A and B are shown apart, each in its own frame.
Chain A
């Protein structure tokens, strides 16, 4: 393997790929044994992390030193690193979960009736009827068209413009 790496450093890409494949096999074996019961981190995650680390840090191997201890030291460091990061990620997940639990009460309260009425008053009569029919009464576009005796395209346009007007008036630009 040291020979392959030496050739790789001289620019031999085939030797480099061969070296990486051998390293991957070694790390895979090691990772399977060490992480036998782990469901979050798969051995292949470790393999790829280690290959990346070998790649970015290949200038820290010196040709007079044995290469296997170098590969294994990087592997051990990366296993610890992956676990630490996963630990962090799980911890962050808990935070996200808490934010979602709190959300229905605080982040998106249902619009109070009066606020909706206020939003609708800025619209023209035609737009207001369409928006009210779709957004508040819950009718579909075609039902609204029938109820208001309009063409469906006209309903779509009025609905779209009405929402745009409300968004422009009440601050959201989408």
Chain B
């Protein structure tokens, strides 16, 4: 095929326009929150003492960590959708939430006597955490990978990792509303494992799914 013929063909096809990736991502994000939220509320529900727990320190701190994680992943992800983006955030932004969590861990270690550490870290819901968070995150991960495919990423591994962490952050935020283990020691032990599974899955799948 001659290049000039190709140009003619492409010119004739100019009328169809796709949604901008930013909008696709926003829709996928909204759908992810709705789906993960609905999955939690209609199956396990919020913990019974949800409102009272909001008055404590440890319970809201879980949301600070998970929402910070989701927000940082969303920011890095939204720039990875494009081949070129001015003001691309450094991927180290993803470390903000882990650092916040680490500070919480230090505070918890100071607040608790050493013989209570192991029990707080182990908690009662570890298995729950490792299964529910990935389960809540599967649909969001799929939606994020789909929106990555609509864009034109040149960094599919980073994009996929962020897709998984974002899905995990959303899932963990809802899971945290159900889980009664509030110690930062528990959060630091199990949440990263659960979210990491989604992150690895995203990083492994994205190079295939988001090729163009």
Q: Is B84 an interface residue (CB 8 A)?
A: yes
Instruction: Please encode chain B, from 2 to 37, with 1 for each CB lying within 8 Å of some chain A CB and 0 for all others.
Output: 010011101111110111110000000000000000
CB contact between A53 and one of B14, B19, B86, B212 (< 8 Å): that residue: B212
Q: Are B152 and A60 in contact (CB under 8 A)?
A: yes
- Interchain CA distance A76-B83 in the complex, whole Å: 10
Closest to A21 in B: B7
How near does chain B come to A50, taking the closest CB pair, in angstroms? 10
Contacts of B85 in A (CB 8 A): 65
**Cβ 8 A contact of A59, one of B8, B10, B21:** B21
Whether, in the assembled complex, A121 has its beta carbon less than 8 Å from a beta carbon of chain B, the answer is no
How many residues of chain B have a CB within 8 Å of chain A?
A: 27
Q: Are A77 and B83 touching (Cβ within 8 A)? A: yes
When the two chains form their complex, are residues B84 and A73 in contact, meaning their CB atoms are under 8 A apart? yes
Dominant SS among interface residues on chain B: loop
Task: Please give the number of chain A residues whose Cβ is less than 8 angstroms from any Cβ of chain B in the complex.
Answer: 32
- From the candidates A52, A60, A65, A74, name the one contacting B151 in the complex (CB within 8 A): A60
A48→B3 contact, CB < 8 A: yes
CA distance A17 to B154 in the complex (A): 25
Across the interface, do B21 and A69 meet the contact criterion of CB distance under 8 Å? no
Known: A16-B14, A57-B212. A70 touches B84 (CB 8 A): yes
Interface residues of A (CB under 8 A from B): 8-9, 11, 13-14, 16-17, 20-21, 24, 44, 47-48, 51-53, 55-57, 59-62, 65-66, 69-70, 73-74, 76-77, 81
The chain B residues found within 8 Å of chain A, CB to CB, are 1, 3, 6-8, 10-15, 17-21, 81-86, 151-152, 154, 211-212
Pairs across A and B, CB under 8 Å, 17 listed: A11-B14, A11-B15, A13-B14, A17-B7, A24-B3, A24-B7, A48-B1, A48-B3, A51-B3, A52-B10, A53-B152, A55-B10, A56-B212, A60-B151, A73-B83, A74-B152, A81-B211
